[in-house]
Amino acid sequence: MIEVKNVKKAFGKQQVLKDVSVEVEDGQVVVVLGPSGSGKTTLLRCINFLENADSGQLAIGDTCVDLKKATKKQILEIRRKTAFVFQNYNLFANKTALENVTEGLVTARHIPREEAIKRGKEALDWVGLGEKYHCYPCNLSGGQQQRVGIARAFVLNPEVILFDEPTSALDPELVGETLDIIKKVAGRGITMIVVTHEMSFAQDVANKVIFMDEGIVVEEASPEEIFSNPKEERTRQFLSRIISLDSNYSI
Amino acid sequence: MNFNTAHFFESFLYGIKYFPNTLRLVFIPLAIGLILGTVIALARVYKVPVLCKLLGIFVTVYQGVPIVVALMIYNLVFMLKFNDLAGFLHIKTKAADVDNIWVGIFALSLTAVCSISEAIRGALLSIDKGQDEAGYSVGLTKVQTIRRIIIPQMIPAAIPTLINHVVGLIKASSVVMAIGIIEIVAGATIPSSRTYSFFEGYVAAAVIYWAFTIMIEYLAKVLRRHTGRFRRNPYD
């Protein structure tokens, strides 16, 4: 189980997270929705210590840390229990697809090279990139890069994978193939927190939807409830715009 | 003005004879510059507390001093104070026993450290922050991320500017003749004082520098192609 409690974070005078708490059960897929600037990404980055929160607690499995006062060792321990999929992929530019996937296994987890390569190849096969082991990221399309990114996270067998708008940098055609892979990851029973703007993905895959706005959790519920019967006015407002947008689009 | 080919070749051979001194004056500072320059650049880019400020001030201040001036100062300090220092450390060596090429190497090294650290800092700053974050996210420590992800990307990005500095260093190495060290220029003009063929002497020196520089630039191209395999356009 992952528990984030009372996270606060400000950038200068801008209070981005105002006391956010989130709980995720093992195997659950939690989708975080909300308008731009609502703090979704910052929340995710705080969980992985890519941002230092101003206060708050984090518990992953049996590891509990204070988000503000965590030691280097605790940060490393949390990072080795989590994996992150970035909006702009952030593949290691100097490493091939396979090396990208094995890096965390060999260097961070000291898994023997042959074993890591075997697992890395399996992971790449699994995301449909069996042909691209030795390609450098600059020779892969955006969708392929993001699939390597997902394989890189998945191969670590983490307690949770954090997805930060994994499809926002992709064109509509590639969004589909990437979402399919993410669904496959969810199908493996891996705990996931996904920040996204893909409503239909949230509807299909999420066990729980969290709606954030202006640095607070406005509402959290099952996707059925959030999409058909939102309790908060702000949620309704946000969803109605998007849903009406969806239905009005006919080209 | 007549060009005396025989004198030119004599000067050329003298220049070549002292070429190893120029090599020492270039490659020892280059090696020191690469090591310390990388350390300084990393300390500044990764904002090591206190150290990054001090190093920033040192680099800025030191780069404002012309190399000839620095060289003269070190030479004076060396001649006046070396014996005292040696006595204090109970070393029997006297200033007169030490080849003053080391003063030249010292002066060129400090200059190289500063300029190379700036070249490397520029290359480090050109690497996206996301590369560090990706390293941390798969569980690498900061040192592992720097060593395995950042430095390999920094090298091909730094090479064009670095080569500029190496070529600058090759040419700057000729100023050490101001403190009486014989390198290519001083060597090539040794026969000139007998034959009065200074023009031939300097042309001979220029030819040697020119060949040396071309060799270095060729090496740089090979190195860049080799270290930048992962880049879409290794020649960009």
Residue A228 to residue A241: CA distance in whole angstroms: 14
Nearest Cα residue in chain A from B138: A104
- Pair of tokens at residue B32: 């020191």
Q: Which domain holds residue A211?
A: 2-248
Distance, in angstroms, between B213 CA and closest chain A CA? 29
- DSSP category for residue A131: T
- How are beta strands A29-33 and A14-24 bridged, if at all? unpaired
B99 and B207: one domain? no
pLDDT confidence of residue B1 = 67
In whole numbers, what is the pLDDT of chain B averaged over residues?
91
Q: pLDDT digits over A33-60, tens only?
A: 999 889 999 999 999 999 999 999 999 9
Residue B35 has pLDDT above 80, yes or no: yes
B61 and B4: one domain? no
Residues of B in contact with A152 (CB under 8 A): 138
Q: Do B232 and A80 touch (CB under 8 A)?
A: no
Question: Residue A27 contacts by C-beta under 8 Å, 6 or more apart in sequence?
Answer: A189, A190, A191
Over residues B29-47, the mean pLDDT reads: 96
Residue bearing the bigger pLDDT, A5 or B87? A5
B232 and B131: one domain? no
In whole numbers, what is the pLDDT of chain A averaged over residues?
91
Work out the percent of chain B whose per-residue pLDDT is above 70: 98
Strands (E), B60-178: none
Window 178-197 of A: residues touching B by CB (8 A cutoff) are none
B170 and B205: one domain? no
Q: Do B131 and A93 touch (CB under 8 A)?
A: yes
Sequence letter at residue B222 = V
B162 and B235: one domain? no
Work out the pLDDT band at A246, boundaries 50, 70, 90: low
Residue A139 to residue A145: CA distance in whole angstroms: 9
- Pair of tokens at residue A52: 């230092």
The listed range with the strongest mean pLDDT (A81-95, B78-92, B222-236) is: A81-95
Residue B194 has pLDDT above 60, yes or no: yes
Residue A242 has pLDDT above 80, yes or no: no
pLDDT confidence of residue A200 = 86
Query: In terms of C-beta distances under 8 Å and separation of at least 24 residues, what long-range contacts does B219-227 make, across chains too?
Result: B220/B159, B220/B160, B220/B162, B220/B163, B220/B166, B223/B159, B224/B156, B224/B159, B224/B160, B227/B152, B227/B155, B227/B156, B227/B159
B89 and B132: one domain? yes
List the one residue out of B209, B182, B207 whose CA is nearest residue B193: B182
B154 and B223: one domain? no
Q: Do A136 and B139 touch (CB under 8 A)?
A: no
Report the Cα A11 to chain-centroid distance in Å.
22
Number of folded domains that form chain B: 2
Residue B72 to residue A199: CA distance in whole angstroms: 72
Residue A6 has pLDDT above 70, yes or no: yes
- Pair of tokens at residue B114: 């500063």
B92 and B162: one domain? yes
Residue B83 has pLDDT above 80, yes or no: yes
Q: Which domain holds residue B7?
A: 1-18+186-236
Over residues B141-147, the mean pLDDT reads: 95
pLDDT confidence of residue A243 = 63
Q: How far is CA A13 from CA A9, A10, A16, A17, A212, in A?
A: 10, 6, 9, 12, 20
Among the three residues B137, B156, B181, which one is the final residue of a domain in this structure?
B181
B39 and B136: one domain? yes
Question: Residue B34 contacts by C-beta under 8 Å, 6 or more apart in sequence?
Answer: B116
Q: Do B136 and A82 touch (CB under 8 A)?
A: no
B39 and B66: one domain? yes
Residue B110 has pLDDT above 90, yes or no: yes
Residue B123 has pLDDT above 90, yes or no: yes
In this prediction the ipTM stands at: 0.91
Q: From the candidates A79, A92, A102, A155, which should be mutated to test the interface with B, based on the most B CB atoms within 10 A?
A: A92
**Reading across the β-sheet that carries A55-60, which strands appear in turn?**
A14-24, A2-11, A55-60, A63-66
- Domain with B35 in it: what CATH number? 1.10.3720.10
Q: pLDDT digits over A128-175, tens only?
A: 999 999 999 999 999 999 999 999 999 999 999 999 999 988 888 888
8 A C-beta contact, residue A82 and residue B135: no
Work out the pLDDT band at A247, boundaries 50, 70, 90: low
B13 and B58: one domain? no
Q: How far is CA B122 from CA A230, B65, B103, B216, B231, in A?
A: 51, 21, 29, 22, 18
List the one residue out of B25, B215, A134 whose CA is nearest residue B223: B215
Q: From the candidates B128, B136, B138, which should be mutated to test the interface with A, based on the most A CB atoms within 10 A?
A: B138
Over residues A63-90, the mean pLDDT reads: 93
Work out the pLDDT band at B173, boundaries 50, 70, 90: very high
**Reading across the β-sheet that carries A82-85, which strands appear in turn?**
A82-85, A160-164, A192-195, A29-33, A208-213, A216-221
Number of folded domains that form chain A: 1
pLDDT confidence of residue B99 = 86
Sequence letter at residue A16 = V
Over residues B43-49, the mean pLDDT reads: 94
- Domain with A75 in it: what CATH number? 3.40.50.300
Q: From the candidates B137, B229, B230, which should be mutated to test the interface with A, based on the most A CB atoms within 10 A?
A: B137
State pTM to two decimals: 0.88
B99 and B9: one domain? no
Residue B90 has pLDDT above 90, yes or no: no
Burial of residue A19 (CB within 10 Å: 0-12, 13-18, 19+) is middle
